[in-house]
Amino acid sequence: MGSGFGNWLNSLVVQLPLLIVCAIGLVEVLRRYTQQPEAARRVLFAFALLLVDAVILSGIVFGLIASTASQPQNLTWINLLITGVGLGRNLIHAWAVWLLFRTIFPALAKPSPSWLRRLIGALVGLVVGALLAIIVGDPLAEAAGISNFEGARGFFVVFALVPLMALAGSVAGAILSGFSFRAGSDTP
């Protein structure tokens, strides 16, 4: 299977065009920072996010893949971690592209309507609540004394804890996004 470090170095070689473009972009942004500081700050952050993804997160993925050879019993957990890192990488790409869009098209920087912010907050809260239920559900069920006989603990997590925590996260996300919207402007 090879070492995780060797595979990571190979992935950096494959990503060399992206790394070169990011390095050139960083140099150009730093040269123009005094002329347009707000735009340069956004672009600098976007390129930094892409570099973090290319270097650090790809290293984490290859380290997790290499750990499957030494710990085959944890294959499901490692697969879940790799999926989570993949989701994180996609979120970083989306954030970097959004920053670049806001810099190229300044009209996108206008505040979005409150219903859209609340909807996005509710969706993010839903996902975070469900993920928290999945992560802490088994220990909570064990602490509550629910037996693992015939999968009772799993049913409790999937059919009771995940929906409740997802609903609570969704409501909390909508409420918190409403508060953050009011804090950022004078109108609701």
**What residue has token string 């409403």?**
178
Q: How far apart are CA 131 and CA 18, in angstroms?
A: 32
**What residue has token string 């380290």?**
63
Show the beta-strand stretches assigned E in 55-138: none
Size of the chain, expressed as the number of residues it contains: 188
Residue spans of the domains in the chain: they are: 4-109, 114-184
Q: What is the pLDDT of residues 120-167, one digit of tens each?
A: 888 888 888 888 888 888 888 888 888 888 788 888 888 888 899 999
- pLDDT of residue 169 exceeding 70, the answer is yes
Local confidence band at 4 (pLDDT 50, 70, 90 cut-offs): low
- Name the percent of the chain lying above pLDDT 90: 3
- This prediction's pTM: 0.54
Local confidence band at 177 (pLDDT 50, 70, 90 cut-offs): confident
pLDDT the model gives residue 186: 43
Angle of CA points 100, 92, 32, to nearest 5°: 35
pLDDT the model gives residue 188: 44
Local confidence band at 168 (pLDDT 50, 70, 90 cut-offs): very high
